[in-house]
A and B are shown apart, each in its own frame.
Chain A
Amino acid sequence: METTMKPTYIKRKRNGQISIKAGSKSERGIRWTIILFVVLTIAAFMFFDYTGLELWSAIIETGQNLKVMFFQPALNHFTWAEALYQVGVTLGLAVLATVIGSVIAFFLALMAATNLTKEWITKFVRVIVAFIRAVPTVLWVLIFAIAAGLGSEAAVLGMLFHSIAYLVKAFSEAFEEVDKGILEALKATGSGWWHVVTHGVLPSTFTYLLSWTFLRFEINFSVAVAMGAAAGAGGIGFELFMASGFYFDLREVGFITYAILLIAIILEVFSTRLKNRYFPSSMSK
Chain B
Amino acid sequence: MALLQIAGLSKSYDNETKVLKDISFNVKAGEFVSIIGPSGAGKSTLLRCINRMVSISSGEVIFDNAQVTSMKKRALRQLRTNIGMVFQHYNLVPRLTVIENVLHGRFGYKSTLQGVLGRFTEAEKEQAFYLLRKLGIVEHAYKRCDQLSGGQQQRVGIARALIQDPKLVLCDEPIASLDPNSSKIIMDHLKSITSELGITCLVNLHQVEVAQQYSDRIIGLNHGEVVFDGLNYQLTEDKINRIYGTQVRELITV
Contacts and interface: CB of A to CB of B under 8 A. Distances in A.
Interface of A: 179, 181-182, 184-192, 194-195, 198-200, 203-204, 206, 281
Contact of B115 (A184, A185, A188, A191): A191
Nearest to B144: A281
A192 B91 contact: no
B104 A191 contact: yes
Interface stretch (B57-65, B81-89, B228-236): B81-89
B185 interface: no
B160 interface: yes
A189 B86 CA distance: 10
B15 to A, nearest CB: 18
A207 to B, nearest CB: 9
Contact of A188 (B53, B92, B95, B112): B53
Contacts of A188: 51, 53, 80, 83-85
B115 A204 contact: no
A142 to B, nearest CB: 40
B91 A190 contact: no
Given A189-B107, A192-B77, 15 more contacts: A182-B92, A182-B93, A185-B160, A186-B107, A188-B53, A188-B80, A189-B108, A190-B78, A190-B79, A190-B81, A190-B82, A192-B115, A195-B112, A195-B115, A203-B93
Interface string B155-176: 0010011001000000000000
Interface in B5-48: none
Report the 6 A-B pairs with minimum CB-CB distance, sorted nearest first.
A190-B108, A190-B81, A185-B91, A181-B91, A191-B107, A190-B80
A7 to B, nearest CB: 26
Interface-centre pick from A181, A195, A198, A203 (highest chain B CB count, 10 A): A195
Nearest to A285: B146
Contacts of A200: 93, 104
B220 interface: no
Given A179-B91, A182-B92, A203-B93, A189 B116 contact: no
Contacts of B161: 189
A189 B164 contact: yes
Nearest to A207: B95
Contacts of A181: 87, 89-91
B96 interface: yes
A204 B91 contact: no
A195 B107 contact: yes
B73 to A, nearest CB: 9
A203 B95 contact: yes
Given A189-B81, A189-B160, A199 B118 contact: yes
Contacts of A198: 115-116, 118
Nearest to A279: B95
Contacts of B84: 188-189
Nearest to B115: A195
Nearest to B118: A199
B94 interface: yes
Contacts of A186: 104, 107
Contact of A204 (B80, B93, B107): B93
A190 B96 CA distance: 19
Contact of A192 (B89, B107, B157): B107
Nearest to B164: A189
Contact of A194 (B77, B104, B116): B116
B110 interface: yes
A185 B95 CA distance: 15
Nearest to A199: B104
A192 B53 contact: no
B105 interface: yes
A82 to B, nearest CB: 46
Interface-centre pick from B89, B93, B110, B157 (highest chain A CB count, 10 A): B93
Nearest to B157: A185
A195 B53 contact: no
Contacts of A206: 95
A204 B145 CA distance: 12
Contacts of A185: 85, 87, 91-92, 104, 157, 160
Contacts of A191: 77, 104, 107-108, 115
Contact of B112 (A182, A194, A203, A204): A194
Interface-centre pick from B106, B108, B157 (highest chain A CB count, 10 A): B108
Contacts of A194: 112, 115-116
Nearest to A178: B93
Contacts of B92: 182, 185
B246 to A, nearest CB: 20
Nearest to A180: B91
Nearest to B76: A190
